[in-house]
Structure 1
Amino acid sequence: MREIVFDTETTGLDPHSGDRMVEIGCVELVNRVETGATFHAYFNPQRDMPAQAEAVHGLSSAFLADKPLFGARAAELLGFLGDAPLIAHNASFDFGFLNAELAACGMAAVSLDRMVDTVAIARRKHPGAKLSLDALCSRYGVDRSHRVKHGALLDAELLAQVYVELTGGRQIGLELAADSPRQDNVVSIAASVLVERVYRAPRPHAASAAEHERHQAFIRQMRSPIWGTPGP
């Protein structure tokens, strides 16, 4: 199964009040394994960068000034996303900005049916625990030492590792695909060793009177048996 883990960086918290997406990073998973395929882009927000937001991700207005507008790469982004489920941490935030940018370009929104929220998964699995990406990286031993500031692609790569652990660990990726040649061979071999079972009626097994008498005679010959004095 193909899935996309993604993250965004923005100028603020609310796309409906004028905040814009300035970066997106996407990581492809197939059967819970990273394929190495990614999509990463910076966008010119056509507005100033608030100091609070810049302190989080380090993207300044000067840095973004020569970057393309979102619309210039929207089709490429949608092509990468395809119809795969989209995984994000606090996913409603990222979906909100993604769909706001698509709407501004006159493009259809990405269906919320595709949304997979790792915060919700983590809340069910670890009730009462800290649910930030940093906290989950620490819980699952995901190295984040190179994460000085937030970055969309870096955070998507970290989240991909966390998501795999949240959903069962690396063992999931080891299962054989339905169309795997190896699995077909296993099924063929298993089928080849099956044989038709023929019903056989149970054989008589009760001892005859003569066999009972021989057994009793054998018992009477014993001296001091461990179970006590034998009967007559």
Structure 2
Amino acid sequence: MRQIVLDTETTGLNPRSGDRIIEIGCVEIVNRRLTGNNFHVYINPERDSEEGALAVHGLTTEFLSDKPKFAGIADELRDYVRGAEVIIHNAPFDLAFLDAEFERLGLPRFKEHIESVTDTLVQAKELHPGKRNSLDALCDRYGISNAHRVLHGALLDAELLAEVYLAMTRGQNSLTIDLAVDQPAADAEQIVATAPVEEMIVLAADEAELAEHAALLDKLDKEVKGACIWRAEPAPAN
């Protein structure tokens, strides 16, 4: 399964009023493992960031002035996310900005290029009703260090969200990053061959343990008013 954890930074809060995307960060997960095949780009929004947004991400107009415009990275982004499940925290926010950028270019909406969208904010609210479920709060809840997160950054936030997502969905609090080429898995016969039967240690029950087991069976017989199935004699060996 290929999943892409995505985050954006923007010039403000409302794409309808002309706010634009200035940064996109994506982290690829395949079969619940980070692959290192990330996507990260800064974008020239052709406008200034609002004061409140600038305080959050710290990406100045001067810094972004020589970065590509969204039209210059749109095809690369679409190719990267194509057919994947995309995981976003508070998905309606990011999707609204992505759709606005695609609309400017006459392209179909973002969802039409991918398999599906998973909103981790919705998941978190279902798992932790009535509690704070921001990315920072979830990092604290699942023991994921975000001490290096002074300002918001799309790639850093996507990396943190990947850890949060795996923690929420399978209780895994850390990730194994495997950048090496996977080796072919050993087949069943090879695995069995590595554990010779003669090396297996079998511990037989002693007299006290057998007596305790018999007492337990007697108790079960009394409760069911009959003989429990564990009284059955094993079939003789051939």
Residues 1:9 and 2:12 aligned together: no
Aligned to 1:122: 124
CA RMSD between the two structures: 2.2
User: In the TM superposition, what is the alpha-carbon distance from 1:18 to its structure 2 partner?
Assistant: 0.5
Task: Say which of 154, 157, 171 aligns to 2:156.
Answer: 154
User: In the TM superposition, what is the alpha-carbon distance from 1:169 to its structure 2 partner?
Assistant: 2.8
Contact 1:32 1:170 in 2 (8 A): no
Task: Say which of 151, 164, 188 aligns to 1:185.
Answer: 188
User: In the TM superposition, what is the alpha-carbon distance from 1:59 to its structure 2 partner?
Assistant: 0.6
User: In the TM superposition, what is the alpha-carbon distance from 1:185 to its structure 2 partner?
Assistant: 2.4
* Corresponding letter in the other structure for 2:84: A
User: In the TM superposition, what is the alpha-carbon distance from 1:81 to its structure 2 partner?
Assistant: 0.7
Aligned to 1:76: 76
Tell me the number of residue pairs that the alignment of Structure 1 and Structure 2 aligns.
182
* Corresponding letter in the other structure for 1:88: I
* Corresponding letter in the other structure for 1:185: A
TM-score (norm 1): 0.73
Aligned to 1:59: 59
SS in 1 for 2:38: strand
Cα distance in 1, alignment partners of residues 172 and 74 from structure 2? 32
Cα distance in 2, alignment partners of residues 80 and 111 from structure 1? 13
Cα distance in 1, alignment partners of residues 66 and 38 from structure 2? 22
Contact 1:27 1:39 in 2 (8 A): yes
Residues 153-190 of structure 1: CA deviation (Å, up to 9, x unaligned):
0000000000000111339x99xxxxx855x627x98x
Any runs of at least 4 consecutive aligned residues in structure 1 with deviations exceeding 4 A, and if so which? none
Residues 123-143 of structure 1: CA deviation (Å, up to 9, x unaligned):
111111110000000001111
SS in 2 for 1:103: helix
Residues 1:139 and 2:141 aligned together: yes
Unaligned stretches of 5+ residues in structure 1 = 175-179, 190-232
Cα distance in 1, alignment partners of residues 83 and 95 from structure 2? 15
* Corresponding letter in the other structure for 1:140: Y
* Corresponding letter in the other structure for 1:125: L
TM-score (norm 2): 0.72
Task: Say which of 167, 180, 188 aligns to 1:165.
Answer: 167
Unaligned stretches of 5+ residues in structure 2 = 177-183, 193-238
Q: Point out the more displaced range, 6-15 or 106-115.
A: 106-115
* Corresponding letter in the other structure for 2:26: C
Aligned to 2:46: 46
SS in 2 for 1:167: helix
* Corresponding letter in the other structure for 2:40: H
Residues 45-85 of structure 1: CA deviation (Å, up to 9, x unaligned):
11122111100100111111111100101111111112101
Cα distance in 2, alignment partners of residues 32 and 51 from structure 1? 38
Contact 1:9 1:23 in 2 (8 A): yes
Residues 99-123 of structure 1: CA deviation (Å, up to 9, x unaligned):
1111111111122771110000001
